[in-house]
Amino acid sequence: MKLVEVLIERKANTLNRPFSYIYKGTKPVDIGYRVLVSFAHKNVIGYVINVNDEKRSVEQLEKDMGFRIEEIIDVIDDKPLLNTELMQLSNEVASHYVSPLISVLQAMLPSSLKPATSAMRGPKIAYDVFVKLKNDTEEGLTPKQIELVRLIRSAGKILKKDCKSPSILQKLVDKKIVEFEKVEKIRLEIPEYKKEHKKALTDDQKKAVESILNTDKTVTLLQGVTGSGKTEVYLSISEKILAQGRNVLMLVPEISLTPIMVEYFQRRFSGDVAILHSELTPAEKYDEYRRISRGECHVVVGARSAIFAPLDNIGLIILDEEHTESYKQDSLPFYHAREVAIMRAKHFNSKVVLGSATPSLETKARALKGVYHYAELPNRINKQELPKTAIIDMSKAYSFSRESSMFSKYLIEQLKGVLERKEQAILLINRRGHSGYITCRSCGHIIKCPNCGIALTYHRDDNLLKCHHCGHVELNDEHCPECGSKYLSRSGFGTERIVDEVHKLFPEARVLRLDSDVGEVRNNIAKTVEAFANLEADILVGTQMIAKGHDFPNVTLVGVVLADIGLSLPSFRSTERAFQLITQAVGRSGRADKVGQAIIQTFNPYHYAIVLASKQNYEAFFRKEMSVRKVAQYPPYTYLTSLEIIGKNKDNVEEIISKIGRDIEKQNFENLTVLGPVEPYIAYENNNYHRIILIKYKNYDKINQYLKDVLESLKSKSQINVKVNVDPYDF
Ligand code: ADP
Ligand code: ZN
Ligand code: ZN
């Protein structure tokens, strides 16, 4: 008989410990195997972290341990799910991020292999299930149900697995509003691209490739202005590494950029590329995951979680657009792909390349200090000048005509020119939906989310009010919920409203929209990008999604409709983020043989982030922002960790977090300060109070152990939950 320790997926800190089971069966079972066990009267999949032979009888064992021990129902795997390196990595990540090991395993494994709370979920899907409208009515439906009905109506049919809430879908099925349609499943097909004709590298590119290959430092920052040909450098180094018989992991910041990068790699290394990102279906992911672990491909391209790809013998890890915040997971274990990349690189003794036109301050500072190697591509490939930019002061009446209150006279004039010359334009507004928020003109009430208190956004496409934080949805009944007045006004504007404005001003122009609402329906993002690249539209309106990575040669004008969104957010990173976004957006213009132009509309025309972004002057921005961070003692001058307590009893939550804060300060750690407790941005959600402290320090090692002890000591407190976020993105 074996005594087996099993981890089970539980969010609560109190349950962040292994549970003991016995196994009398004959199948081999070891660390890293998944097992089926009964937990709280449910069959769940657990993950084995320890196995010991047990000589005692069950009765004796239970007597010694003081509780009843159940038997493992079945052993699922016939070999461990993770190899030794990944197992070690999971422990290292859990330890560094002071997070439950189970949360790291959840982040690492494709969903079909995860230890799940629900019972067996196999990847044996043989068909796609679509949802169609059967009875097109909204009568008697809740707002959430209506939201889904309107999505299906606009798309024709959607994949069942794209419906975020199975329970809402089930209600619609019960009410006979929707029905299913089964279509034979097409597993991921990576198109066979013709092997490409390699480009001759420019001198700058050659120099960069050589210096990256020759450095003995693990990490290189590859800084290159937009359009300087970083991708070609990635491909060229990859080729050299593959020729040495070692493998390559290529990370891109967003799903929308994977197809393009996959195409580049597939063309160069045909057949040898696997893809991992969250838009793949569970079955596709499972296939790719198995293909990688069997060693059948030597290049993996994917978004953040691909950093955990079961690729062996890694020689090179590349993070494109390394400054992008999507590399940081915003839920437990709050890992950053860059840090995990460095952990894996240490293990394999491989190289890490961080590419960006606007490196994060942390990365640039490390490169300047010599912690990272530095390589650069200072010029655009075609020697094309950077786009000419104009900053338009939105607070000045003379900037606008009666034609439009959103598009300045200058922007309208330039858009006209683009349309006449049959070129293309991109309009950036970093807010989706139609308008920012809705106020009552009678009583001044702002319509807010009942769960989290954030102003709701009006979405014209499906005529609903939505919370961009928690997903709460309300019908747009055009009355003030406070005083009943009909006089509501919509302030601020988002992508949908910009599309309307373009239609109004240029009825003949063909317009496409790209934001995460568009991404609700699978493959829509890729389709939109492709359609715009194929010149099927004249103007692309979108959020930050359009600012990154894409290479649209016919775009000669980029308009940032309102550059200020983001600048005012309460985060020490908001200025850096605004600078990066505008710089990236401006860089989309004039990439081929035509000179590009950018127009930045703003209420802060003299703000350094906006002025320097318009000039694409990263170095000056870096110096200025570093001096701001130094005064305020924010990263990269210090490190941060936040600790959050969540619970239903406000007094209890505040008492516990205050005590933790005071206790840390009493420890006399060098150069350490505790800020707060404060209410985070979302302070109350779904009947739970959130309070947070922020710990600033210079040396992480000591505080890491201390935080682990704090979490251990909180395990007895079942009324509260706790989350630690090391290097939080916002604060
Ligand atoms: P970045 O990622 O630095 O913004 P890209 O990698 O998208 O730049 O390259 C910009 C453009 O230059 C692309 O259209 C690419 O095909 C082209 N390009 C890159 N390297 C070369 C080269 N050596 N010769 C010719 N064209 C190149
Ligand atoms: Zn009112
Ligand atoms: Zn909400």
Q: Convert the pLDDT of each residue in 622-631 to its tens digit.
A: 999 999 999 9
Tell me, what's the pLDDT at 193?
58
Using pLDDT thresholds of 50, 70 and 90, give the confidence band for residue 614. very high
Q: Work out which ligand 1 atom sits closest to the CA atom of 381.
A: 12
The CATH number given to 384-434+493-629 is 3.40.50.300
> Is any ligand 1 atom within 6 A of the Cβ of residue 551?
yes
Q: Which ligand lies nearest the alpha carbon of 208? A: 1
CA-nearest residue, atom 21 of ligand 1: 229
> Is any ligand 1 atom within 6 A of the Cβ of residue 196?
no
Tell me, what's the pLDDT at 507?
96
Domain 203-382 shares a fold with domain 384-434+493-629: yes
Average pLDDT over residues 641-647: 94
> Is any ligand 1 atom within 6 A of the Cβ of residue 590?
no
> Is any ligand 1 atom within 6 A of the Cβ of residue 381?
yes
Q: Where are the domains of the chain?
A: 2-121, 127-184, 203-382, 384-434+493-629, 639-726
Q: Does domain 2-121 have CATH number 3.40.33.10?
A: no
Q: Which comes out higher in pLDDT, residue 41 or 705? A: 705
**Residue 60 burial by Cβ neighbours in a 10 Å radius (0-12, 13-18, 19+):** exposed
Tell me, what's the pLDDT at 136?
87
The CATH number given to 639-726 is 3.30.70.600
Q: Work out which ligand 1 atom sits closest to the CA atom of 200.
A: 23
Convert the pLDDT of each residue in 499-539 to its tens digit. 999 999 999 999 999 887 776 666 777 788 889 999 999 99
Ligand 2 centroid distance, CA of 447 (Å): 9
Ligand 3 centroid distance, CA of 108 (Å): 28
Tell me, what's the pLDDT at 553?
87
> Is any ligand 1 atom within 6 A of the Cβ of residue 202?
yes
Q: Which ligand lies nearest the alpha carbon of 447? A: 2
How many other C-beta atoms lie within 10 A of the C-beta of residue 480? 21
Tell me, what's the pLDDT at 81?
80
Task: Please choose, from the candidates 147, 76, 58, the residue with its C-alpha nearest in 3D space to the C-alpha of residue 115.
Answer: 76
- Adjacency order of strands within the sheet including 457-459: 457-459, 464-466, 473-475
Average pLDDT over residues 629-654: 92
Contact (Cβ atoms closer than 8 angstroms) between residue 509 and residue 536: no
Using pLDDT thresholds of 50, 70 and 90, give the confidence band for residue 112. low
Using pLDDT thresholds of 50, 70 and 90, give the confidence band for residue 123. very low
Query: Across the chain, what does the average pLDDT equal?
Result: 86
Q: Rounded to an integer, what is the distance from CA 203 to the centroid of its chain?
A: 35
Question: Would you say residue 273 has pLDDT above 80?
Answer: yes
Angle between helices 337-348 and 84-96 (to 10 degrees): 140
The DSSP symbol for 71 reads: B
How many other C-beta atoms lie within 10 A of the C-beta of residue 277? 23
Tell me, what's the pLDDT at 460?
79
> Is any ligand 1 atom within 6 A of the Cβ of residue 230?
yes
Contact (Cβ atoms closer than 8 angstroms) between residue 32 and residue 87: yes
Ligand 1 centroid distance, CA of 241 (Å): 21
> Is any ligand 1 atom within 6 A of the Cβ of residue 232?
yes
Convert the pLDDT of each residue in 297-331 to its tens digit. 999 999 999 999 999 999 999 999 999 988 999 88
CA-nearest residue, atom 20 of ligand 1: 229
Question: Would you say residue 342 has pLDDT above 70?
Answer: yes
**Residue 309 burial by Cβ neighbours in a 10 Å radius (0-12, 13-18, 19+):** buried
**Minimum mean pLDDT among 259-268, 359-368, 415-424: which range?**
259-268
CA-nearest residue, atom 17 of ligand 1: 229
* Measured distance CA(668)–CA(672) in Å, rounded: 8
Assign residue 638 a region (left: φ > 0; alpha: ψ between -120 and 50; beta: otherwise): beta
Question: Would you say residue 369 has pLDDT above 80?
Answer: yes
Question: Would you say residue 122 has pLDDT above 50?
Answer: no
- The CATH architecture that domain 203-382 belongs to is 3-Layer(aba) Sandwich (3.40)
Q: Which comes out higher in pLDDT, residue 424 or 142? A: 424
CA-nearest residue, atom 13 of ligand 1: 229
Residue showing tokens 């690492």: 108
Question: Would you say residue 235 has pLDDT above 50?
Answer: yes
Using pLDDT thresholds of 50, 70 and 90, give the confidence band for residue 118. very low
> Is any ligand 1 atom within 6 A of the Cβ of residue 224?
yes
Ligand 2 centroid distance, CA of 439 (Å): 8
Tell me, what's the pLDDT at 238?
96
Test site for ligand 1: of 551, 586, 591, most ligand atoms within 8 A of the Cβ: 551
Tell me, what's the pLDDT at 166?
82
Max avg pLDDT among 120-134, 543-557, 659-673, 679-693:
659-673
> Is any ligand 1 atom within 6 A of the Cβ of residue 583?
no
Using pLDDT thresholds of 50, 70 and 90, give the confidence band for residue 717. confident
Q: Which ligand lies nearest the alpha carbon of 439? A: 2
Q: Which comes out higher in pLDDT, residue 684 or 24? A: 24
CA-nearest residue, atom 16 of ligand 1: 229
Convert the pLDDT of each residue in 239-248 to its tens digit. 999 999 999 9
Tell me, what's the pLDDT at 430?
80
Residue-wise burial string across 330-347, b where 16 or more C-beta atoms lie within 10 A, e elsewhere: eebbbbbbbbbbbebbee
